């Protein structure tokens, strides 16, 4: 808006100057133009010439203002004196990243062999058979053909006894192994081990667990304690605990203790549980 006002004021001043110059130009024209033109019937010739001169002057003034408002960019001169001539070889340097060397694959460690401890039923077993002194279950780390089988070391047994009302009546821990008086055994592949579920003593069936105590000569002495089991049906849950306190799935047995000292033993499978 301010620019337009300035242009109008400037135009007025220019118009005054043009009129003054027109008067002078009129005198010059009268002196230079032929007499026949001045006295011709075209009285508007001189005003037209004056108007044309005014328009030309205004056009030049406006173009000058636009050039001042939008100056053209000057060409940028290269001050670098290290310019290469057309016949000069330009040496270029490319820095390539070093090739990535693939890491060798890690050698896969061979899978460690695992144990294969299973329950081995007695060969001559029937529910009505009478076991005189010890009620045993057979466990074995069964070998697998063409497959390495690891030992199960430091094996302890925990036996929980429940009556028909599912109430715990006794716990034997650590349980007693028939071939070893210690609290634990090492189960190597192929060898059978017998766990004592109950022992008949003084006319009673009893649960057995191992005790140990230090001796005065620096060794450890082992003994076992017995706890009487009630007559009738009992459920015995056997859990084997190996090294690092890793336990195996529990195995269940149905026990039947009779008044005449006989006992029956049955391994409960998943079908029997259902």
CA distance 74 to 93: 33
Residue 176 belongs to domain spanning? 117-273
Instruction: Give tens-digit pLDDT for 235-274.
Output: 999 999 998 899 999 999 999 999 888 898 899 987 776 5
Instruction: Give tens-digit pLDDT for 108-121.
Output: 666 777 888 998 87
Instruction: Give yes or no: residues 138 and 19 share one domain.
Output: no
Alpha helices in the chain (DSSP H): 2-32, 35-38, 45-69, 270-273
CA distance 193 to 122: 12
Q: Would you place residue 124 in the very low, low, confident or very high pLDDT band (cuts 50, 70, 90)?
A: very low
CA angle 95, 99, 104 (to 5 degrees): 165
Task: Tell whether 86 is covered by a domain.
Answer: no
Query: β-strand 263-268 against 251-257: which pairing, if any?
Result: antiparallel
Instruction: Give yes or no: residues 134 and 263 share one domain.
Output: yes
Instruction: Give yes or no: residues 187 and 263 share one domain.
Output: yes
Burial of 55 (0-12, 13-18, 19+ CB in 10 A): exposed
Per the CB < 8 A criterion, the answer to whether 215 and 150 are in contact is: no
Instruction: Give tens-digit pLDDT for 201-232.
Output: 888 999 999 998 888 787 888 888 999 999 99
Task: Tell whether 78 is covered by a domain.
Answer: no
Task: Tell whether 84 is covered by a domain.
Answer: no
Share of the chain above pLDDT 90, in %: 36
Instruction: Give yes or no: residues 154 and 260 share one domain.
Output: yes
CA distance 192 to 139: 6
154 Cβ contact partners less than 8 Å away, ≥ 6 residues apart: 184, 186, 242, 243
Is 113 in a helix, a strand, or coil? coil
Instruction: Give yes or no: residues 54 and 157 share one domain.
Output: no
Instruction: Give yes or no: residues 56 and 130 share one domain.
Output: no
Q: Would you place residue 6 in the very low, low, confident or very high pLDDT band (cuts 50, 70, 90)?
A: low
* Whether the predicted pLDDT of 139 surpasses 60: yes
| pLDDT score, position 41 | 46
Answering whether pTM is above 0.85, one says no
* 223/48: higher pLDDT: 223
Number of domains in the chain: 2
Task: Tell whether 77 is covered by a domain.
Answer: no
Strand partners, 207: 227
**What sign has the CA pseudo-torsion 266, 207, 180, 131?**
negative
Task: Tell whether 241 is covered by a domain.
Answer: yes
Task: Tell whether 92 is covered by a domain.
Answer: no
193: nearest Cα among 91, 101, 117, 271 = 117
Per the CB < 8 A criterion, the answer to whether 273 and 258 are in contact is: no
Q: Would you place residue 130 in the very low, low, confident or very high pLDDT band (cuts 50, 70, 90)?
A: very low
């Amino acid at each position: 808006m301010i620019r337009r006002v300035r242009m109008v004021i400037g135009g007025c001043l220019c118009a005054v100057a043009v009129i003054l110059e027109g008067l002078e130009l009129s005198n010059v024209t009268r002196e230079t133009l032929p007499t026949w033109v001045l006295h011709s019937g075209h009285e508007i010739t001189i005003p037209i010439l004056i108007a044309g001169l005014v328009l030309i002057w205004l056009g030049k003034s406006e173009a000058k203002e636009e050039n001042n408002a939008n100056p053209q960019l000057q060409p940028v001169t290269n001050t670098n004196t290290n310019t290469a001539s057309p016949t000069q070889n330009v040496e270029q340097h490319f820095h390539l990243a070093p090739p990535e060397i693939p890491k060798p694959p890690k050698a896969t460690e061979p899978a460690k062999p695992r144990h294969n401890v299973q329950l081995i039923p007695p060969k001559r077993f029937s529910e009505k058979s009478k076991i005189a002194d010890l009620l045993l279950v057979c466990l074995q780390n069964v070998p697998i053909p063409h497959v390495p089988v690891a030992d199960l070391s430091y094996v302890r047994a925990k036996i929980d006894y429940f009556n028909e009302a599912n109430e715990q009546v006794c716990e034997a821990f650590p349980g007693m192994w028939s071939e070893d008086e210690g609290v634990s055994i090492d189960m190597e592949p192929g060898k059978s081990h017998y766990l004592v579920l109950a022992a008949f003593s003084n006319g009673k069936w009893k649960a057995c667990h191992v005790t140990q105590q230090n001796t005065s000569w620096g060794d450890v002495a082992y003994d076992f304690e017995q706890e009487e089991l009630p007559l009738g049906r009992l459920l015995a849950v056997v859990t084997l605990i190996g090294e690092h306190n890793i336990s195996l799935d529990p195995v269940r047995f149905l026990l039947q203790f009779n008044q005449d000292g006989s006992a029956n033993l049955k391994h409960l499978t998943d079908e029997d549980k259902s």
